[in-house]
Structure 1
Amino acid sequence: MELTMAQRKAITTAQAKAWTKATKAEKAAILDAVVQVTGWHRDHARKMLRRAATGQMPGPRKPREAIRRYDTHVTEALVRCWAMLDGIASKRLAAALPRLLAALERLDRLDMSVEVRDQLLAMSPATMDRHLQPYRTGLIAAKGIAHTKPGSLLKSSIPLKTWAEWNDTEPGFIEIDLVGHEGGDNNGTFHYSLNATDIATGWTETCTVRSKGERIVAAGLDQLIGRFPFLILGIHSDNGSEFINHHLSRYCNLRQITFTRGRPSHSNDQAHIEQKNWSIVRRAVGYWRYDTAHELDLLNHLWPAWNTRNNLLMPSQKLISKTRTGAKVTKHHDTATTPADRLLRDHPDTLTTNELASLHHQIDTIDPIALGDHTALIQGNLLDLAKRRGTVQRRTKRNHVYLSRTKLNKRASSDESTTQTKRAS
């Protein structure tokens, strides 16, 4: 175990008593011993012995006073912008601030001085983390339950696509998944949110359907496809029966859309959409139960504003490379960029002239405060409805014995009777 600086100084002070009266050979032996114990260089050890012999051993350093470059006004402005963007990470926040502040200035709602604005734009992500640390305390994420039931129908006719085959993908290939709003009890009927994200750009669209029936899911998917600013070329899903069916297969064949699926029990084959299920759906509406027509209407009014803010204002990072050295995995990500900017920067030829003009118009006229007020109002109504229902107690399914397989393939032992015992006459 490495010695502390106080222990090294104590050893040097103890050896310095014999240093002043020692011969040349004895000083060399003392110096060798100090170097071996402390790990110092010989020149430094000799210097410390001389200082200790004359009583000039340096004391502990005074702690350096913190230099505050940013005052409380900058911190308050940073917290407001961070909350306006749903508390995103600092690397994403630093990339989002220029467009956010420009939009607020255009709307004459920039509630800060020019000096504070310039300091905010000059702040590094690490400094943002230090200033936001007190406000992040206590933010704990909950976990949900899975609702995917395997669909064997047409499984062999739908090609597999693994996580390693998504490199260099052009816009138009999306991953889809369902997120259940069961509130902890998956008995009865409840709503599902259909989530779709583009692999190349990260552009995400969402809608809520009343159940996971194949026709209802296909109708919701048709609604989502129309919201993307580019043509959809391929769809990738998991092995749930809501996707692996004749209806969705026929839908993709008629529109010449490539339909692929991931491997069973390999959620990393749908890694892009699995991440968006949390960052888009769960962050927006949480883990409450939604099963009424009014809640379905509120959810479908929430998603357009919520996804517009995420696609135009919220930067995201894409994984460039991953290197494993023993047990250590080093990941490298690109610079945080919004899905809209990633589309315009990396794939400018994907959009037509009208689609390009429409996207630029959305970026130039976006109102982050109006979007925030709209989503907060709907989220408040959903939260009131969910809390009014009360805590959902998770119940056991009627067929839980057969689902747990405790009564299947159970054979009698060799010494066990398989006939009922009869009463003695």
Structure 2
Amino acid sequence: MRDALIALWEASDRVCGKRLVSMIPVLLPALERHGRLKPTSAERALLTTLSAATIDRMLIDVKIAAAGGRRRRVGFYSAIRREVPIRTFNDWANPPPGFCEIDMVAHGGTSVAGSFIQTLTMVDIATGWTECLPLVTRDGSLVVEAMTRAQGLFPWVICGADFDNDSAFMNDVVVPWCRAQKIEVTRSRAYKKNDQAFVEQKNGAVVRRLVGYGRFDGVETARVMARLYAAARLLVNFFQPSFKLKEKRREGAKIIKRYHPPATPYERALGHPKLPSAVKRRLRQTYRTLDPIQLLATIRTAQEELGERIGKRGLAKVPTVSPADPLSFARSLGTAAKTAEVRGTHRRPKRRYKKRIRMPSKLDPHLAIIENWLAVEPQLTALAIVGRLATIDPSMFSDKQHSIVQRLLRSLRRKVAETAIVSMPVDEIRPEAVDGAACDEHSAPPTASPPSWPRLETGLGQLVDLHPG
């Protein structure tokens, strides 16, 4: 009985038990017709009445052996993810201030190897208030410390936190801490970034615009980024207006969006009816003490120091950038654009690619010979072809020319593959009677001689015949 079930499982291409239950009534008679399986009537009755749970239980050892002796284990954080509810973009329904979307931005440059700084971004849904905090590494305890610090930076109490499915958030440190602080915890769907549209927008408009895409690591660099974010939070939240979506509808293939008038998070907070007057009074007092030129000068100074640290990674001593004078910085604002000022954290401009004229190759006079060799022996390698060419002209060819021969082989085999794909016919599947005769209503097409099938390169570097047989 178990051997028959294993044979059915292998014949079904190792599908799961729930799918195999539906396949057995169809697969078992097909195997019996062709003599692949000969169960008794009692075994046939038992096989057709098996449940999915019984099939998985009977095949558990076979599946482990088929996987090379490794058993798939459920992730440690999957249980915590399951108990955190999902919230999409359309589920917010105008919450009061205090409900935030939280995400992390990696500052690893072009490589994710090793340890590097992460920026924890928190965005309030109702007002757009943004707080950014640098983390030296991705760790749940550091996320808790950053959220504790952010609770003192936000003008109001944090009531809800919407995370993504990152293990730095979905763990047994962050989720229990949020619940102990009476913070409602939700998460987005996996691989659905639009569920966190508010924070994803700030990741580009605030974090990447300020810091760029370089690689940053180390405690000293984190302190510089903390100074940068301390000045940027006041400039962004009090002086920089942003758009907020009002409605979105679809008309045919067009999506029409309507936005509220642009406003700063500070203005949205003052106009929100659910914020107490004491919070609004403190915001007005803070606003009167702020100098945007001073904040911008501090941001530029921190950006210059971060620009000096890009690519250094502790290998060279970074010069200390002196604090900027607000008066001289204000005088340079009118001329900075004319002098093509580039911030230290901006990407380096890419040089334009210079198109080159193809130079004649050493292989051009021998191209026909190489094609004839490949037609007879498709498995020839570049080194073998170079060896044959060296016997023909030793002064021109040696082992150093195998790279240009490899490029030539790739181009020739690509052309052969394209020709093979284009010339492959699409045959229609026509039902036939048991005795091989065609149906009366649908006459069979006249048979013709089989076409000359091309040869296609396989993944092993060999050419095989594309013949139906």
Q: Kindly state the Cα deviation for residue 151 of structure 1 after the two structures are TM-superposed.
A: 4.3
The residue aligned with 1:376 is 300
CA-to-aligned-CA distance 1:20-55 (integer Å, 9 cap, x gap): xxxxxxxxxxxxxxxxxxxxxxxxxxxxxxxxxxxx
Amino acid in the other structure paired with 2:175: S
Check the 8 A contact 2:135/2:142 in 1, yes or no.
yes
**Structure 1 residues 1-400: aligned runs within 5 Å:** 151-347=77-273, 349-351=274-276, 353=278, 355-388=279-312
Partner deviation per Cα, 1:260-301 (whole Å, 9 max, x = no partner): 001111111111101111111100000010012211110011
Q: Which SS does the other structure have where 1:216 is aligned?
A: helix
Distance 2:158 2:185 in 1: 11
Alignment RMSD (CA, Å): 2.0
Q: Map Cα deviations across residues 128-158 of structure 1 (whole Å, 9 max, x no partner).
A: xxxxxxxxxxxxxxxxxxxxx9942411111
Specify the code of the residue in structure 1 equivalent to 2:294.
Answer: A
2-structure distance, mates of 1:359, 1:150: 43
Partner residue, 2:5: none
> Contact 2:85–2:186 at 8 Å: present in 1 too?
yes
Change (3 A) 1:362 1:380: same
Closer, same or farther: CA 306–150 of 1 in aligned 2, 3 Å: farther
Q: Could you tell me how far apart the structure 2 residues matched to 1:199 and 1:151 are?
A: 27
Q: Is the 8 A contact 1:176 1:194 kept in 2?
A: yes
Distance 1:319 1:167 in 2: 12
- The letter of the residue matching 1:194 is L
Pairwise CA distance, 1:254: 1.2
In the alignment, residue 351 of structure 1 is paired with which amino acid?
Answer: P
Q: Any idea what SS the aligned residue of 1:324 has? A: strand
Asked whether the 8 Å contact 1:151–1:242 carries over to 2, the reply is no
The letter of the residue matching 2:276 is L
The whole-number CA distance in structure 2 between the counterparts of 1:187 and 1:249 is 27
Distance 1:309 1:300 in 2: 14
SS at match of 2:114: coil
Mapped to 1, the partners of 2:305 and 2:311 lie a distance apart of: 10
Q: Distance in 2 between matches of 1:290 and 1:183?
A: 8
1:161-214 CA-partner distances (Å, limit 9, x unpaired)? 111111221110000001000011100110100000000000000100111111
Instruction: Work out whether residues 215 and 311 of structure 2, in 8 Å CA contact, stay in contact via their aligned partners in 1.
Output: no
Report the CA distance between 1:365 and its aligned residue. 2.1
Aligned letter for 2:114?
A: G
Partner SS for 1:246: coil
The answer (yes or no) to whether the contact 2:97–2:156 under 8 Å persists in 1 is: yes
Question: Helix, strand or coil: the match of 1:185?
Answer: coil
C-alpha contact (below 8 Å) 1:150/1:239 kept by paired residues: no
TM-score after normalising by structure 2: 0.50
Q: 1:310 to 1:166 in 2, by over 3 A?
A: same
Give the residue type in structure 2 aligned to 1:182: G
CA contact (8 A) 2:105 2:203 kept: yes
Which residue of structure 2 aligns with residue 416 of structure 1? none
> Match of 2:107, as an amino acid?
H
Q: How far 1:357 sits from its partner (Å)?
A: 2.4
TM-score, normalization by structure 1: 0.55
Unmatched segments (≥5 aa) in structure 2: 1-74, 316-346, 349-469
Contact residue 179 and residue 193 of structure 1 kept, 8 A: yes
Aligned residues: 242
Gaps of 5+ in 1: 1-148, 393-425
| Counterpart contact for 1:315–1:339, Cα < 8 Å | yes
Find the aligned partners of 2:282 and 2:95 in 1 and give their Cα distance: 24
Structure of higher RCO (CA pairs closer than 8 Å, 6+ residues apart): 1
The amino acid that maps onto 2:225 is L
